[in-house]
Amino acid sequence: MSTLNDLPVVVVGAGPVGLAAAAHLHERGLPFTVLEAGDVPGAAVRQWGHVRVFSPWRYNIDPAARRLLDDAGWVAPDLEALPTGAELAGDYLQPLAEVPQLKPHLRYGARVEAISRVGLDRLRTAGRDTTPFLIRLADGQEVLARAVIDASGTWGTPNVLGASGLPARGEADVAAHLEHALPDVLGVDRDRFAGRHTLVVGAGHSAANTLLSLADLAAEHPGTAVTWAIRTTSPARTYGGGDADALPARGALGSRLRAHVDAGRIRLLTGFSVHALTPTDGRVTVLVRHADGSEEQTSVDRIVAATGFRPDHSIAAELRLDLDPVLGATRALAPLIDPNEHSCGTVPPHGVNELTHPEVGYYAVGMKSYGRAPTFLMATGYEQVRSVAAALAGDWAAARDVQLDLPETGVCNSNPDESANADSCCGPAPAVQSSGRGLATGISGGLLAAPLSLLTLDAAPADTQTGGCCAS
């Protein structure tokens, strides 16, 4: 059997963070293989290609990736511009995947089905840390690795419609009527919505984004009807601060949504939880249960589940993971990002220390590292993989010197976890020394189609609390 150090580090997923991991591993001189389920780099990003992100290019390009691209003669985009998902994939991820230092190490159509240790199930301890990882692909092939960086994201595992976290009764029976978050309502998916009645479930920006597109479609196409359902009794958090929002485009998004609701162009149902779904004459009957136990029915053609995402840890079921019971992130990372505790999206930079599991050499990074928390940013993931690659190279000083240069937004996000108390981000600081800050995203399961400008405030001292919304 190969010894550990002869083996490559396997990166699962060629999204923004997986490819950044590859760039950092290359810089560290560590052999690596990237296993990507899709046929192209950025396969998940391309699925929301019609959505314009709110973080400008300069936050979306990993520094090590940038060095490789510059060597290859890449012409960088305008760093202040806001790319769509399609532009992010086509103008950055695709050329990055093609640089000669990375290209030979990328395998497409390579879906990882399970990760274990050669000859050791989860129970066996002896020799575990020095035994290679065994990665089994969906086609049955197996790959050995010295370490695994799991950057497989969460796009493939959206949350269910049922309010209890379990599928609503009959959810599987109406699959043909259900839409993943962020369908391209005004583009390729238009025909599925034009002239139909669509129910959008969720209170985050992905719901708002879809609702605005549906309202535009309704204006062009008679017979298009839109219903919006949220769990809370008020849409205030989704509407946001309007003109008072420090992020003008985010404020405008909420204000536009409110105008449609006020004008009756979007019908709003509050205190709504999906209890049961029944296919009925080519439509769906939705049985709704209210907080007081009363029930009512409504009938629609399509349902957009804008209810967020969850990580799929099943591929790592034979590994020893120490997951936070709330978020499904590592226990050390969870308190920094738990939306029950922080309504701000500001997150301190973090690296290998916060990402370490009992399974030595396995790191979930990127979107997946956040579990069900909604505020992940590419730039955060880039710092994660810089730190992890440094640790794998044995450079612990660099691994622990986590940095993240992002501007403060100075606002709380409109986190759709409506149980979150808007003041709670001003609670005690997590016990972490940070040398930089995150950037509030205000997302759950998707971001804005409308560009947001970032507000830069003075950097706060390194060891103060991370809730930037509390700054006056």
Shortest approach of ligand FAD to residue 118 CB, angstroms?
19
Return the number of other C-beta atoms located less than 10 Å from residue 260's C-beta.
21
Which residue lies nearer to ligand FAD by CB, 54 or 133?
54
Residues 377-416 as x/- pattern, contact with ligand FAD by CB under 6 A: xxx-x-----------------------------------
Say whether residue 367 binds ligand FAD (CB under 6 A): yes
Q: Is 182 in the site for ligand FAD (CB under 6 A)?
A: yes
Output the CA torsion sign for 92, 94, 96, 99. negative
Please select the residue that binds ligand FAD; options are 376, 411, 412, 416, rule is CB under 6 A.
Answer: 376
> For the chain, how many helices (H) and strands (E)?
14, 16
Name the token pair of 448. 């804005």
Q: Is 144 in the site for ligand FAD (CB under 6 A)?
A: no
Distance, CA of 333 to CA of 339 (rounded, Å): 12
In the complex, the smallest distance separating the C-beta of residue 51 from ligand FAD, rounded to whole angstroms, is 4
Q: DSSP characters for 213-247?
A: HHHHHHHHSTT-EEEEE-SSS--HHHHTTGGG-SS
- For residue 118, CA distances in Å to 131, 132, 319, 414 come to 6, 6, 11, 45
Site string for ligand FAD, 294-333 (x = CB under 6 A): ---------------------x------------------
Q: What minimum distance in Å lies between the beta carbon of 435 and ligand FAD?
A: 19
Show Cβ contacts of residue 377 under 8 Å, excluding neighbours closer than 6 positions: 55, 59, 347, 406, 438, 439, 441
SS3 content of the chain, % helix, strand, coil (to 5): 30, 15, 55
User: Cα(23)–Cα(105) distance, rounded to whole angstroms?
Assistant: 11
Binding part of the chain for ligand FAD, among 70-78, 170-178, 354-362, 372-380 by CB under 6 A, reads 372-380
Determine, following the binding rule CB under 6 A, whether residue 43 of this chain makes contact with ligand FAD.
yes
Q: Does 35 bind ligand FAD (CB under 6 A)?
A: yes
Q: Does 156 bind ligand FAD (CB under 6 A)?
A: yes
Rounded CA separation 273/283 (Å): 19
Site string for ligand FAD, 414-443 (x = CB under 6 A): ------------------------------
- Provide the binding-site residues for ligand FAD, judged by CB under 6 A: 12-18, 35-38, 43-45, 48, 51, 53-55, 111-112, 151-153, 155-156, 182, 315, 366-367, 376-379, 381, 446-447
